[in-house]
Amino acid sequence: MADGGHREFIGVADAAALAETAANRLLTRISANSDRVAICLTGGSSPKQLYRLLASVPYAKRIPWDRVHWFIGDDRFVPANDSLNNMGMAREIFLDRFAPPANIHPIPTDAAGPEEAARLYERELQSFYGARELDSARPLFDLVLMGVGPDGHTASLFPDYPELEENRRWVIGVPKAHVEPFVPRVTLTLPALSSCREMLFEVAGQEKRAILNRLATDNTLPANRARSQGETVWLVDKAAIGGEPS
């Protein structure tokens, strides 16, 4: 969304500090809502350390598992047990050990195709939300986790792809990925992702330095266009910044 709410950059020492900061923000978001909580997870390698932390005792015991629901912002259109499946990765690292099965909401990658999976997931999100239109007074998610790819994509919203301009649907199929793995994707759209209280990007490692530099000057890149209607936070480590965090 072009006009999101507040955006903040937080520099941290390294990937471990980044995961810890993200885990604490997630716990804070959960505590801020005494009702049913909705968290939208992300895939790729960046969130793995966070997911491992959530599976560790000090964090796991502070999560009220019965009232937290877990969604995924995008997935690769591969079987649920394929190592490329984003929700499969999150399930394996922490969800299957702690979350009630009914609270885990994967994109149905066993559907006939990515488009069909997108329609089914949109229906599931709308049924969870209780409406087919998003109301800015009532965000869909408490927290949306995000990563950024080498081309500036986020979720499976790739630069210059038509799915980036979708402003009506909540979920959409992406027939061909712009970067590896080159499998079809299913992704939430910008309006659905932005319907949250907080959007939290995790960016760590020297390999992210080039794209961070490009993001500083190119507002058209998907990762720059993805903004929460509430708070957008970028957690960036020293290796990605290329210097000491400020």
Question: Which residues lie near ligand 6PG (CB under 6 A)?
Answer: 42-46, 74, 76, 86, 147-149, 153-156
Q: Between β-strands 74-76 and 185-188, what pairing exists: parallel, antiparallel or unpaired?
A: antiparallel
3-state secondary structure (DSSP) of residue 120: helix
Residue 207 Cβ vs ligand 6PG, minimum distance, rounded to whole Å: 8
- Which tokens sit at 38? 């909705």
Residue 235 Cβ vs ligand 6PG, minimum distance, rounded to whole Å: 13
Cβ 93 vs Cβ 160: under 8 Å: no
- Which tokens sit at 237? 């480590």
Distance (Å, whole) CA 157 – CA 72: 14
**Residue placing its CB nearer to ligand 6PG in the complex, 109 or 195:** 109
Residue 1 Cβ vs ligand 6PG, minimum distance, rounded to whole Å: 17
**Residue placing its CB nearer to ligand 6PG in the complex, 154 or 195:** 154
Distance (Å, whole) CA 173 – CA 187: 6
Residue 61 Cβ vs ligand 6PG, minimum distance, rounded to whole Å: 27
- Which residue in 141, 145, 117, 122 sits closest to 132, CA to CA? 122
**Residue placing its CB nearer to ligand 6PG in the complex, 30 or 186:** 186
**Residue placing its CB nearer to ligand 6PG in the complex, 14 or 67:** 14
Residue 181 Cβ vs ligand 6PG, minimum distance, rounded to whole Å: 8
Distance (Å, whole) CA 193 – CA 203: 18
**Residue placing its CB nearer to ligand 6PG in the complex, 44 or 191:** 44
